[in-house]
Amino acid sequence: MTAAAAALLALALALAPALCAVLGVAPNAASKYAPATGGVFQCLGSKTVVPFSAVNDDYCDCPDGSDEPGTSACRNGKFYCPQAGFEGKQIATSLLNDKFCDCCDGADEFASGVKCENTCDIEREQALREADAKLKTFDEGMQQKQALVAGVKERWGLLQSELDILRTTIMTETNEPALRLARRNAARSSGTDPLREETLRNDRMRLLERMDEFDFGAASCFVMLFGNEYSFNSSSYQYVYRPYDRVAQVSLQDDSVTNMGKFSKWGNKRETMEFGNGDACWMGPARRTSVKMICGATSGPAASVRSVTEPSKCEYEIEVVTPCACGALTRSALQHRVDALGSQACH
């Protein structure tokens, strides 16, 4: 061991009691860093065994870096910031003693000579404000959700009535070609493409005919989104989201439409709507879209699109705010975080 490593180890051992059993280890993981029989340490992510003296000796022995939680020897090591009075967090060990304060209590700069200002109380207050805001947003969403659920029965009736009208209209025009011709002529006179109009009408009827096949969630709240159309504009495109139907990208330059996927299933306990088998990308896969449901109040009809991103080629993510995504378990977790942050204090 070099003189520098020995000095670092000595300092780490001196500081360890104030932090946890081994420098850089979270309290809930301290038991994993107790010397095993024979004075050895087993790497957390493998069966590799090293002498316990190899822990924090500034040399990386474990493939997962678990033997060096308090030095920067391992590229994939993790260091635990205690951050008393706030909440602990893990950072990459590559950030240790780099003369930049990453832990709000400065625990990561124990040997750099840098004196970090303790900002834990400031960060806790900011986190508390954010948690309070999320809880308020949730409560507003839950209030709207109650109103939506109260309207579910009426919504079912309106959709069924629309389906009956569409069936009757289409059947009548099928049996009486003169009526269909008159409607098409009227559409052309108003500048509307009658064939496109018929396609949209037939698609709408087929969607409504499948109402009984869909999962509308607890209290059928998501039926309040069914049949609606939501849009989001970027600088070049308008994104159109139709719940339980499809997602499309419309060019604002030439009105060309790209299919970003058709509804396939709910994902992750109704947290996302998954759409697949969209138009193929150039030299790439078929487009697909994941629509994430976020609890909150909205000014739109039961939902509104908050953002559209493309994290990887031909794979899109849409965030939709809707009261229907609000649930009792979520509120319990939010309230617990507010209470926990409110009861903490940095000293």
233-275: per-residue pLDDT in tens? 999 999 999 999 999 999 999 999 999 999 999 998 889 999 9
Residue 73: per-residue pLDDT: 97
Q: d(Cα 257, Cα 313) in Å, to the nearest integer?
A: 18
Q: Are 131 and 123 in contact (CB under 8 A)?
A: no
> From start to end of 225-256, where are the E strands?
230-233, 237-242, 246-251
Task: Identify the pLDDT of residue 345.
Answer: 58
The answer to whether residue 291 scores a pLDDT higher than 50 is yes
Q: Which two tokens stand for residue 4?
A: 């520098």
Tell whether the model's pLDDT for residue 205 goes beyond 50: yes
Backbone angles phi, psi at 122, to 5 degrees: -65, -45
Q: How confident is residue 347, by pLDDT bands cut at 50, 70 and 90?
A: very low
Alpha-carbon gap, residue 323 to 147, rounded angstroms: 10
Please report, as a single letter, which amino acid is at residue 123: E
The pLDDT of residue 214 is 96
Q: 51 pairs with which residues across the strands?
A: 40
At what angle are helices 194-209 and 152-175 packed, to 10 degrees?
A: 130
Q: How does DSSP classify residue 241?
A: E
* CA–CA distance, 97 with 149 (Å, rounded to integer): 55
Pick the closest to residue 214 from 147, 164, 159, 260 (CA basis).
159
CA 247 to chain CA centroid, nearest Å: 19
Cα separation of 156 and 224, whole Å?
9
* Mean of pLDDT values over 288-311: 93
What integer is the mean pLDDT of 56-77?
A: 97
The pLDDT confidence band at residue 2, using thresholds 50, 70 and 90, is low
Q: pLDDT grade, residue 19 (50/70/90)?
A: very low
The helix/strand/coil state of 8 is: helix
SS3 content of the chain, % helix, strand, coil (to 5): 40, 20, 35
In whole angstroms, give the CA distance from residue 237 to residue 63. Answer: 46
> What is the rounded average pLDDT for all residues in the chain?
90
Q: Is the dihedral of CA 303, 309, 312, 313 positive or negative?
A: positive
In sequence order, the β-bridge partners of residue 79 are 91
Measure the CA–CA gap between 101 and 99, rounded to whole angstroms: 7
Q: What is d(CA 54, CA 311) in angstroms, rounded to the nearest whole number?
A: 41
Q: Which residue carries 């991103």 as its tokens?
A: 309
Token pair for residue 174? Answer: 């099928």
pLDDT tens for each residue of 147-179? 999 999 999 999 999 999 999 999 999 999 899
* CA-closest candidate to residue 306, choices 314, 296, 315: 296
Contact 285, 255 (CB under 8 A): no
Residue 265 forms beta bridges with which residues?
274
> Could you read off the pLDDT of 43-54 as tens digits, one per residue?
999 999 999 999
What pLDDT does residue 10 have? 54
* Digit-coded pLDDT (tens) for 179-199: 989 989 998 999 889 898 999
Residue 111 is encoded by which pair of tokens? 């040997």
